[in-house]
Structure 1
Amino acid sequence: MIYIYNDFAGTHSTALAAAYHLKQLPQSERKLTSEEILNVNYFNQLTNKDFGKLLFHGTDENGNSVYTIGRKRSKLVVPALKDMSLLLLEKFHVNEKIIFSNTSPTVPITMSLGGLFSRRLHIDIIGVPLLVKGAKQSCDTIYRLVENTIQVGNTFNEKVIILENEIYKV
């Protein structure tokens, strides 16, 4: 199976989701520390040139690959990736499942503002504390989203699944 966590920037909620998925963060709904958040691979590290790139985060304990992607505002990226995935799976007779999981609903306004200040305006002194505060606010929700994403992947038989995850909306 291939898991692809996606959101606007691909560097905050998706990075946390990938880290939870790969068990690089505590497997509970407890609040993360600032140090744990800031040590997550790719957290607040991506730039404009990284939008639209699939970033490999690792392989989980079951041999499943975990990726993230920042899709900006485009509502077309994930459907296009779904169509491309189905085409390649069929053409090359690959028996693989691909799960696209949208982490955007978990993002609180503090994380959005932190990303604006830090990534776009390059004012880390304001942005990073807001990002950390937002990550602390949403970490339990992101953890539950990841658990649900894994459960859906293990339960449903469709070759490509898109999870919008609106039930996690903050």
Structure 2
Amino acid sequence: MIYIYNDYGGTHTTALAAAYHLKNLPTDRELTKEEILNVNFFNKLTTSDMGKIIFQGIDEDGNSVYTIGRKSSKLVVPALKNLSLLLQDTYKGHEKIVFSNTSPTVPFAMTIGGFLSRGLKIDFIGVPLLVLGAKQCCNDIIRLVEYTKQIAKSPNEKVIVLENKGFK
């Protein structure tokens, strides 16, 4: 199975979701600033990284976990779904692919922090807001990851797209 967490920038909630999915972060307490800032790719991607599918690791069940920043395009995930189905049908692939949107978990502090840090390069204001936002949304991200894993077990679909409305 392949999991691909996606959102606008691919560097905040997607990075946290991948880290939780891979069990690289504790789920039983609030994260520290250092833990948040040390998550792979957290607040590190740039505009040139948008649209790149970034490998994050292999989970405990041997599944690959990726992230992608799609900017404001509503076409990226449907295009990837169609490409995935085409490749599976053409090459008789059996690997289930799950696209999970982390955008519904993004709190206002993270939106502003991401804009200030990634967009305007004002890290001294943006990064503390990102850390605050990460602390605010971690429980939602943990629930989203568990939901994603649960839905992925459904036997019928080869490619699943989860919009995840209602995780905020």
Map of 2:10 onto structure 1 = 10
Q: Is the counterpart of residue 65 in structure 1 residue 64 in structure 2?
A: yes
1:148 paired with 2:147, answer: yes
Q: Which runs of 5+ in 2 are unaligned?
A: none
- Please list the CA deviations of residues 78-111 of structure 1 after superposition, one character each: whole Å capped at 9, or x if unmatched: 0000000000011100111000000000000100
CA RMSD of aligned residues (A): 0.8
- TM-score, scaled to structure 2: 0.98
Stretch of structure 1 that moved more, 154-163 or 63-72: 154-163
- Which AA in structure 1 matches 2:143? R
Which residue number corresponds to residue 156 of structure 2? Answer: 157
Q: How far has the Cα of 1:37 moved from its partner?
A: 0.4
CA distance in 1, matches of 2:96, 2:77: 15
Mapping 1:1-170, distance limit 5 Å: 1-28=1-28, 30-168=29-167, 170=168
**TM superposition score normalised by structure 1:** 0.97
Provide the secondary structure at the position in 2 that maps to 1:56: strand
What amino acid maps onto 2:97 in structure 1?
I
Whole-Å Cα distance in 2 between the matches of residues 155 and 78 of structure 1?
20
How far the C-alpha of 1:27 sits from its partner, in A, is 3.1
Alpha-carbon displacement from aligned partner over 1:19-73 (angstroms, at most 9, x marks no partner): 0000000134x32111110110000000000000000000101110000000000
Equivalent-residue separation in structure 2 for 1:121 and 1:66 (angstroms)? 29
Q: By how many angstroms is 1:157 displaced?
A: 2.3
- CA distance in structure 2 between the aligned counterparts of 1:33 and 1:145, rounded to whole angstroms: 20
Runs of 4+ off more than 4 Å: none
Q: Distance in 1 between matches of 2:87 and 2:125?
A: 44
- Following the alignment from structure 2 to structure 1, what is the Cα–Cα distance between the partners of residues 42 and 122? 16
